[in-house]
Amino acid sequence: MVALVALTRAQLGSVHCKVGCACSDEFKPLCGNDRQTYQNECKLRCSQCEKPGLEALFSGRCEDVFAVPAPVITYTAPIPMLQLAPAPVFYPFVLRPTI
């Protein structure tokens, strides 16, 4: 009796992680959603071990579509504002004592 096992795309990467990656040198480039070109689907699946969420965007080299590298977005904490003393109150009139 032969048992068939269906694997989803997300599970393919995890199978490689458990048994190790042994990929061929076949050149069928895939562009990943990290905008890096992977030599073939096997190598992309192996990279999913270190990059969870990595998926193929399209067949072909990323460099052929994305001429400019992906922007690197960094977050910098806001600069704390100076705490200023309250401004003095100025009255537009002069108080004179009454006699």
CATH number at residue 41: 3.30.60.30
80, part of any domain:
no
Query: How far is Cα 80 from Cα 63, in angstroms, rounded to an integer?
Result: 41
79, part of any domain:
no
The parent domain of residue 54 ranges over 9-21+28-64
Token output for 26: 């076949």
Q: List the chain pLDDT tens, one digit each, 99 residues.
A: 333 333 444 444 455 677 778 899 999 999 999 999 999 999 999 999 999 999 999 999 998 887 766 667 776 767 676 666 677 766 666 666 676
15, part of any domain:
yes
75, part of any domain:
no
87, part of any domain:
no
Q: What is the 3-state secondary structure (H, E, C) of 4-58?
A: CCCCCHHHHHHHHHHHCCCCCCCCCCEEECCCCEECCHHHHHHHCCCCCCCCEEE
40, part of any domain:
yes
71, part of any domain:
no
**Gap between the terminal Cα atoms of the chain:** 117
pTM listed for this prediction: 0.53
Counted domains in the chain: 1
82, part of any domain:
no
